[in-house]
Chain A
Amino acid sequence: DGGITQSPKYLFRKEGQNVTLSCEQNLNHDAMYWYRQDPGQGLRLIYYSQIVNDFQKGDIAEGYSVSREKKESFPLTVTSAQKNPTAFYLCASSTGTGPANTGELFFGEGSRLTVL
């Protein structure tokens, strides 16, 4: 079945450690996105990528980094510079680029990061 796979589903981290969240899709979608979700705040865009080897900052990129070396993969690193990293992280993808992209997103199941 086609879809988006995020791993791990749950992750615990000590303060000061970097952690990388995996996101893989087999939908052949061009664009991929990372969102952060906190209670009562909806979804906030961290980074997005519309083509391989290119990505743009979203609304809350500070303390995060990404790479897009392959079309299928868009890993997110939460660095020690992120002041409040405990949250639910959602990866998504969409088909088409530029005006052909309606914005319809397909989501993974999420990764819950807890900083101890």
Chain B
Amino acid sequence: AQSVTQLDSQVPVFEEAPVELRCNYSSSVSVYLFWYVQYPNQGLQLLLKYLSGSTLVKGINGFEAEFNKSQTSFHLRKPSVHISDTAEYFCAVSDPGQGGKLIFGQGTELSVKP
């Protein structure tokens, strides 16, 4: 069965610094990959997704992620964070043969400090 590991549960960073949130998944077969953001007491919002094509995916709010098949990773990056990026971030994977069932990682809490 698929599994997703987010390697850091909390990432503190100063404003305007770069950040990388790490995500690894277990399957070596074709996958769809997603990053979601959740602000306090709200639902999840899609940041970006990889379905096929270019391995560098750009999303909203200046975030991007790179799909690395050989390392089964999908790390999220932003070159310069803002206070408003403080939120919880979830990596998720689905198997194209499983009809859309999404498996989530445990989440990474990004805390941006002034």
Listed in ascending order, the chain A residues whose CB lies under 8 Å from chain B are 4, 6, 31, 40-43, 45, 48, 50, 88, 90, 92, 94, 96-99, 101-110, 112
Residues of A within 8 A of B102 (CB): 103, 105
Give 9 pairs: A residue, B residue, CB < 8 Å, sorted on A: A42-B107, A43-B90, A90-B44, A97-B99, A103-B101, A107-B45, A109-B42, A109-B43, A110-B41
Residues of A within 8 A of B104 (CB): 42-43
Given contacts A99-B96, A99-B99, 5 further A-B contacts (CB under 8 A): A40-B9, A42-B107, A94-B100, A102-B49, A102-B51
Contacts A40-B9, A41-B106, A42-B107 hold; do A107 and B43 have CB atoms under 8 A apart?
A: yes
Residues of B within 8 A of A108 (CB): 43
Contact of A99 with B32 in the complex, beta carbons under 8 Å: no
Contact of B99 with A50 in the complex, beta carbons under 8 Å: yes
Contacts A42-B90, A104-B34 hold; do A90 and B43 have CB atoms under 8 A apart?
A: yes
Does B83 make an interface contact (CB < 8 A)?
Answer: no
Give, as a whole number of angstroms, the nearest-CB distance from B95 to chain A: 8
Q: How far is the CA of A109 from the CA of B36 in the complex (A)?
A: 14
How many chain B residues sit at the interface, stated as a range, is 20 to 34
Contacts A42-B107, A96-B100 hold; do A110 and B32 have CB atoms under 8 A apart?
A: no
Q: How far is the CA of A113 from the CA of B100 in the complex (A)?
A: 27
Task: Select one of A4, A96, A98, A103 contacting B34, CB under 8 A.
Answer: A103
Q: How far is the CA of A107 from the CA of B43 in the complex (A)?
A: 6
Residues of B within 8 A of A106 (CB): 46
Give, as a whole number of angstroms, the nearest-CB distance from A12 to chain B: 16
Give, as a whole number of angstroms, the nearest-CB distance from B104 to chain A: 4
Closest B residue to A33 by beta carbon equals B102
User: What 8 pairs between A and B have smallest CB-CB spacing?
Assistant: A103-B94, A101-B100, A107-B43, A103-B100, A42-B106, A103-B102, A43-B104, A107-B44
Give, as a whole number of angstroms, the nearest-CB distance from B43 to chain A: 4
Interface string of B77-114 (1 = CB under 8 A from A): 00000000000001010101101111011110000000
Q: How far is the CA of A48 from the CA of B101 in the complex (A)?
A: 9
Residues of B within 8 A of A6 (CB): 43
Residues of A within 8 A of B96 (CB): 99, 102
